[in-house]
Amino acid sequence: MVACVHVAKILPGKKEEFMQQLKEGFETGREALRSFGFTRIVSFTTPEVVGDDHALLVTVYEAEDPSVVERFYKLEPVLQQEARAHGVLVAPHDHEAVPKNVAFVDMDLTS
């Protein structure tokens, strides 16, 4: 199991709109995401680092292998959604690093 992180800077005044779109997209595609190979997806925002009226979106993708995340960001519907969001809801960025953004500390403290 691997966890990969994606971070995006949400544009001022767009936090609620972006969060709603992202939540609806993940919830609508829940079964497709599971069958694609994801085991868990966690998204949250934080105002840290960017200041007032700004937020960072942080999404952690868990899957058996980073290639699941890499393939996800090459899907046409994902590319289309990213194209609609970049420059409108979030600052433009790429996703090449996402499959490589794996945890350097991963501790299971349940046992």
Q: What is the 3 state secondary structure string of the chain?
A: CEEEEEEEEECCCCHHHHHHHHHHHHHHCHHHHHHHCEEEEEEEEECCCCCCCCEEEEEEEEECCHHHHHHHCCCHHHHHHHHHHECCCECCCCCCCHHHCECCCCCCCCC
| pLDDT interval class at 52 (50, 70, 90) | low
For 27-48, write each residue's pLDDT tens digit: 999 999 999 999 999 999 887 6
What count of Cα atoms within 13 Å lies in the side-chain half-sphere of residue 20?
A: 4
Considering its fold, how many domains does the chain have in total?
A: 1
Higher-confidence residue: 51 or 77?
77
Which residue segment(s) compose the domain that 79 sits in?
2-100
Query: Mean pLDDT score of the chain, rounded to an integer?
Result: 87
Q: Kindly report the pTM of this predicted structure.
A: 0.85
In a domain, 55, yes or no: yes
Higher-confidence residue: 68 or 105?
68
pLDDT at residue 51 in the model:
63
In a domain, 111, yes or no: no
